[in-house]
Amino acid sequence: MDNKEKKPSRSAVIKNTAYAVKVITKASPFLLIGYTLSITGYWFFESYIKNVVFLEKMINTVTQGGTFRQFMLMLIAFCGVGLVAHFLDCAGDFISASENKKVYRLLNEQIFRKACQVDVECYENPEFYDNYKRATDVINNELSAEFSWCTGKFVSSAITAVGLVSYICSVDPKILLFLLGMIPFIASQSYRNKLEYRKDKEMTSNNRKKDYVQRVVFLKDFSKDMRTSGIYSVMKARFVNAVESNCAIIKKYGWKTGLLDVFGGFVTEILPIAGTLIYGVYGFAVTETISVAQFAVLISAVTSLKEIIENSGRCISEIQRCSLYFGNLRDFFAYENRLKDGTIKAEKIESIEFRNVTFTYPGAEKPTLKNVSFKINKDETVAIVGKNGAGKSTFVKLLLRFYDPQEGEILYNGINVREYEADTLRKKIGTVFQDYKVFALSVNENVLCRECENDEDRLHVEEALKKSGVYDKISTFEKGADTVLTKEFDDNGTGLSGGEQQKVAAARMFAHPFDLAVLDEPSSALDPIAEYKMYESLIEETVGKMVIYISHRLSSAVLSDRIYVFENGTVAESGSHAELMEKNGVYAEMFTMQASNYKDEEDEDNE
């Protein structure tokens, strides 16, 4: 998406407005109705019934010798209409308040769902985050409520304006000419909101940086580094720079919007009211074509109509402004993944083959994997080893089809991965990632990836925790596996060590059926004993299944049927542990070096 500023065309504004109406009415057909009822009940009664109809009747009753009975009947009728208007106002408020929650929930669900469906490469793209931030502004700034309120107010204003214009024309239609000066005001408000939108768009990147610093300062994962290093000063500088950049942007647009506000005040306050007063006094005192009641009500009617036009202008510009943000939302939802889903549902995995695969990350100059080829069959346990940066984790991303290679192909059961439905294929693969995550949910929910509903679910989680080696720790908690991890939302929550968290992540894999286990550095946070026990569980659990270990540690490689050594994005060596040790190449050098490190550690422990 081009970052260069483009002025939204009139047709784009109309399309965005129609899209906003479509989205809101789909989520809640009654939200716009609720706001329209509420505002009409108040606005029509106050501006037309009270300030024109009742005011004129009251003055005529007093000045033309009306009886007290006539006055009371008129007052009762006025109160009755007022009660109806008040009822509509309250009913509309109730409807809009409850329906707003539905829109908020639905839009959030749609944004979250889309964010989970987009290509993984989007999360490595700052431009995507900016677009995502602008899309969520519709929710965070409650623009759906503002759009609905302005739309309801505009409809209400139109209804009320019909009555007011009818009355003014019955007195003297030439008075409407004094209100023509407000047309430039409506145009100026439209331009003002375009400026506000441009200002907000320019501030998006700075706001994202500012929000990041605000978030990181309070996150537990960063608290130690914040206190033991000088990184806080760097983060503070980023925050200050973002704020100062926003201040500069605000100044850039502030003087323009200020001038537009001054101009708007002149054309809406001085011209209509002063012109009507002069014309009315002339008609009453000089030509005697306007009565006392007409003069008083005329001023009230023109004032009300002026306010309606003024508010209508603001409503139109606000609707336009909101529509620009809904345009961001529409663009976000319209994003099409580069990875196109196939139509074949994945069956039991029998084989996986990388055939001449070359892959380069977007924006990178050099390929991460170059002409990689090998095949893994059912019942095989394979280790992918190599130094950091050799391309091991990239292999996992391609295997799970987070990316597609630029050259070559990846085959599942002899069929190109592009032909499969990605979700059905990924469900066949159990994974434990190097950058494992646990969530601020209960242990049960972290393992099941859904709510724990019954004792059968609890027993299932218990078995998975035992296989991963963390059950003994979890069982010491007062609430057991119902304990919430982290204290972010629960004072009774608990924290786990890095190794314990990794075991919970491994339990997540054990809790779900899989044909292929992919373990990307599965023991990076574990001590050697815990690592050995986890491998024992993996060997026992994966009998008859395909297993791929991704590691720079070589303890898992010894247990594997075949080892592929990655170096600089290529397969430098392959074979069993014994075969590679006999070759005395890259693998043998790595294994000997790691073995000597372990020996040194044992010698230190024995001293």
- Residue by residue, DSSP assigns 98-163 as HHHHHHHHHHHHHHHHHHHHS-GGGGG-HHHHHHHHHHHHHHHTTHHHHHHHHHHHHHHHHHHHHH
- In this model, does residue 316 exceed pLDDT 60? yes
Q: How is residue 560 written in tokens?
A: 């594997």
End-to-end CA distance of the chain: 63
Q: Which of 35-39, 90-94, 244-248 has the highest mean pLDDT?
A: 244-248
pLDDT at 392: 87
Query: pLDDT, tens digit, for every residue of 537-548?
Result: 677 777 778 888
Per-residue b or e along 80-98, where b marks 16 or more CB atoms closer than 10 Å to that residue's CB: ebbeebeebbeebbebbee
Q: Per-residue confidence at 185, pLDDT binned at 50, 70, 90?
A: low
Q: Which residue has the tokens 């397969």?
A: 571
Q: Average the pLDDT over 175-184 and give the result.
A: 69
Q: Residue 147 and residue 150: Cα distance in Å, rounded?
A: 5
Least confident among 21-35, 256-270, 432-446: 256-270
Distances (CA, A) of 112 to 69, 188, 312, 408: 64, 37, 34, 33
Residue 583, Cβ neighbours under 10 Å: how many? 13
CA 384 to chain centre: 36
Q: Residue 108 and residue 101: Cα distance in Å, rounded?
A: 11
Pairing of strands 407-412, 351-359: antiparallel
pLDDT at 420: 92
More confident residue, 557 or 391: 391
Among residues 517, 601, 589, the alpha carbon closest in space to that of 554 is found at: 589
Q: Residue 405 and residue 74: Cα distance in Å, rounded?
A: 81
Q: Which of 211-225, 284-298, 440-454 has the highest mean pLDDT?
A: 440-454
pLDDT at 372: 93
**Residue 113 CB partners (closer than 8 Å, separation 6+):** none
pLDDT at 47: 78
pLDDT at 406: 92
- In this model, does residue 251 exceed pLDDT 50? yes
Q: Average the pLDDT over 408-433 and give the result.
A: 90
Q: Using DSSP, state whether 563 is helix, strand or coil.
A: strand
- In this model, does residue 157 exceed pLDDT 70? yes
Cα-flanking dihedrals φ and ψ of residue 181, to 5°?
Answer: -65, -10
Query: pLDDT, tens digit, for every residue of 48-81?
Result: 787 777 877 777 777 777 777 777 887 788 788 7
pLDDT at 3: 43
Q: Using DSSP, state whether 384 is helix, strand or coil.
A: strand
Q: Is the pTM of this model over 0.85?
A: no
Q: Residue 493 and residue 32: Cα distance in Å, rounded?
A: 42
Secondary structure percentages of the chain, helix, strand, coil, to 5: 65, 10, 25
- In this model, does residue 601 exceed pLDDT 60? no
Among residues 453, 431, 434, 426, the alpha carbon closest in space to that of 442 is found at: 453
Encoded amino acid at 593, one letter: M
Query: pLDDT, tens digit, for every residue of 34-43?
Result: 888 888 877 7
More confident residue, 66 or 510: 510
Q: Per-residue confidence at 1, pLDDT binned at 50, 70, 90?
A: very low
Q: Average the pLDDT over 15-27 and give the result.
A: 87
- Residue 370: CA count within 13 A, CB half-sphere: 10
Instruction: Give 80-89 contacts, CB < 8 A, sequence gap 24+.
Output: 81/45, 81/49, 82/45, 82/49, 82/50, 84/41, 85/41, 85/42, 85/44, 85/45, 85/49, 86/41, 87/41, 88/37, 88/38, 88/40, 88/41, 89/37, 89/38, 89/41, 89/42
- In this model, does residue 534 exceed pLDDT 70? no
More confident residue, 64 or 25: 25
- In this model, does residue 187 exceed pLDDT 70? no
Per-residue b or e along 44-61, where b marks 16 or more CB atoms closer than 10 Å to that residue's CB: bbebbbbbbbbbbbbbbb
pLDDT at 338: 82
Q: Residue 152 and residue 35: Cα distance in Å, rounded?
A: 5
pLDDT at 266: 64
- In this model, does residue 401 exceed pLDDT 80? yes
Q: Average the pLDDT over 469-498 and give the result.
A: 83
* Strand arrangement, sheet containing 351-359: 369-377, 351-359, 407-412, 415-416
Least confident among 54-58, 106-110, 112-116, 595-599: 595-599
Q: Per-residue confidence at 411, pLDDT binned at 50, 70, 90?
A: very high
Q: Residue 541 and residue 464: Cα distance in Å, rounded?
A: 10
Q: Per-residue confidence at 2, pLDDT binned at 50, 70, 90?
A: very low
List, in sequence order, every beta strand (DSSP E) within 474-567: 516-520, 546-551, 562-567
Q: Average the pLDDT over 486-494 and give the result.
A: 75
CB 376 within 8 A of CB 351: yes
CA 503 to chain centre: 30
DSSP-derived secondary structure letter, 345:
P
More confident residue, 601 or 249: 249
Q: Average the pLDDT over 154-170 and give the result.
A: 83
pLDDT at 220: 64
pLDDT at 132: 80
Among residues 395, 537, 523, the alpha carbon closest in space to that of 463 is found at: 537
Encoded amino acid at 124, one letter: E
Encoded amino acid at 212, one letter: Y
DSSP lists the bridge partners of residue 485 as 494
Least confident among 9-18, 457-466, 589-598: 589-598
Distances (CA, A) of 158 to 48, 146, 175, 178: 12, 18, 19, 19
pLDDT averaged over every residue in the chain: 80
Q: Which of 58-67, 520-529, 569-578 has the highest mean pLDDT?
A: 569-578
**Residue 522 CB partners (closer than 8 Å, separation 6+):** 432, 502, 506, 534, 538, 549, 551, 556
Query: pLDDT, tens digit, for every residue of 328-382?
Result: 888 888 888 888 888 999 988 899 999 999 999 887 889 999 999 999 988 888 9
Among residues 223, 197, 169, 152, the alpha carbon closest in space to that of 486 is found at: 223
Q: Per-residue confidence at 133, pLDDT binned at 50, 70, 90?
A: confident
- In this model, does residue 191 exceed pLDDT 80? no
Q: Residue 427 and residue 400: Cα distance in Å, rounded?
A: 10
- In this model, does residue 460 exceed pLDDT 80? yes
- In this model, does residue 607 exceed pLDDT 50? no
